[in-house]
Structure 1
Amino acid sequence: MTAPRQHPVLAFAVALAAVGVLSVMDAVMKGLVLAIGLYATSVWRALAGVILSSALYLPRRGPWPTPNVIRLHVARGAVVTVMGLLFFFGLGRIPMAQAIALTFIAPLIALFLAVFTLGERIGRRTVAASLTAFAGVLVIVAGQASTSLGEGVLVGTAAILASAVCYAVNIVMMRRQSLAAKPLEIGFFQNGTIALLMFASLPFMGGVEWPTAEWPAILAAAVMSFAGVLLFAFAYARGEAGYLAVTEYSGFLWAAALGWLVFAEPVSPYTLAGAVLIVGGCIVAAREKPRPEPEIEALA
């Protein structure tokens, strides 16, 4: 598959939109986890997601992807499954802003993974932007360290950090996957893999109850999750992983606002100071001049 032309500014804007959509989904998922539990939420969202993606992809799909591409789809789907379970487990135990701040280690890891796995080059502006944004994260964490967050914080924090490592791998895989397949195909296989893994685990988890009252929220989360996949696939096909990874920092602004509005989680002065650094880092990264696209081996 021929890679789309590079459009760095468009790719950056679309990646920012994807972060926004998925941040709203995180708030919906946190509410569901608190209402019906992590496993039930994950199972029913997986079902809704695979139905939605099948309806959009199967009627208009082209030739079936090659075995190598299918293996890439399944591998990333498995990583996303583990990443999501760890993240939403932690999200149910710590404030949204704190959770998102902890995940910001992922783009920094992804920057260096992209060098070794995709042959990308890291521009000085991108490195400076990442360090500036990460300094904002440190300010936020320092402020949270002085606040009592209740029981389960350590376990939740460990889960979020483990999820962040998975997400760094996911960012790099997303770039390679986006060059090998179209967005609808990526969304279909990702949702299919997640659904298979979740339903295969049902016999070991004792089953789940039918969530009558929660279905509107579950469907909304599934739609936003799929929309985020499509937006990221579009963006990562047109911009380098290292360049786009810093858009993840904008998720903190969404998390702080949604945590305050939906869950009454306060926003401290540390949080506001960190947010200024995070936004500054994103602005600096958006002004990075595009670099020549590296040669990436085709998946055939």
Structure 2
Amino acid sequence: MAVSVSVFLGFFLGLVFVGLVSSAKFDQLFQASWANDHLVYEGELLKLKLDHYSGAGFSSKSRYMFGKVTIQIKLVEGDSAGTVTAFYMSSDGPNHNEFDFEFLGNTTGEPYTIQTNIYVNGVGNREQRLNLWFDPTKEFHSYSLFWNQRHVLFLVDDTPIRVHPNMENKGLPFPKDQPMGVYSSIWNADDWATQGGRVKTDWSHAPFIATYTGFEIDACEVPASVAATESAKNCSSSGVKRYWWDEPTLAELNVHQSHQLKWVKARHMTYDYCTDTARFPVMPLECVHHRH
């Protein structure tokens, strides 16, 4: 009985202290950010359209500090070469933090590539790429970003594909003091997206459509009027205030998740900036310290 009460109290405190727990309604959480005429609403589904004239994008109405953001996406079917569909979190300004999913289209029959990247204090160049173990154009799949003071996780159907740990004890900055908005967009990037730009967008296949559903944000909402330092403090557990993302069990990957991540890296990863000696003759410091 004690366990049940503890679980209930934890859940209740989460509801009380998190500004916005979750929702599956697009318009409760998000709004069009550009090319509103290229967003198509079909009941619970949202479609972003890319054609000769424009791509499209949307953004969250609020900013968040720590928690989990999930969107279910069905990517562009058929020949999607040259297109990029992105789902990411970002703060504002030149020294911004950013966590990126970028889905790089390809010619018919070739696998989609996921590129992830992380910016800390305005510095990125931390790209990893992998091919998925399913066809992301046939069904909806969940893509999530989980963020606490210990690490940032990228998840596909709750399988971790990347972890970026807090290594401040090694003198490396960690993104923990800037609230972030949530964004998604589709655009033409045939100068680099498919096979390094060798394969261009075939506009005869336009419009290219990415379809979305299942919008969930279980995170600490930060009012625009609150300073970044205050929001970091307000969204961290202290005293009686306990946030679910600060639970000790979420401080690091569990054994099963560690095995999943190793499987993804061994079977599906096609590029890792940590091993690109042409770009980085000296291995980046976080790669030296972090061997996940």
TM over 0.5, yes or no?
no
Larger strand percent: 2
TM-score, normalised relative to structure 1: 0.29
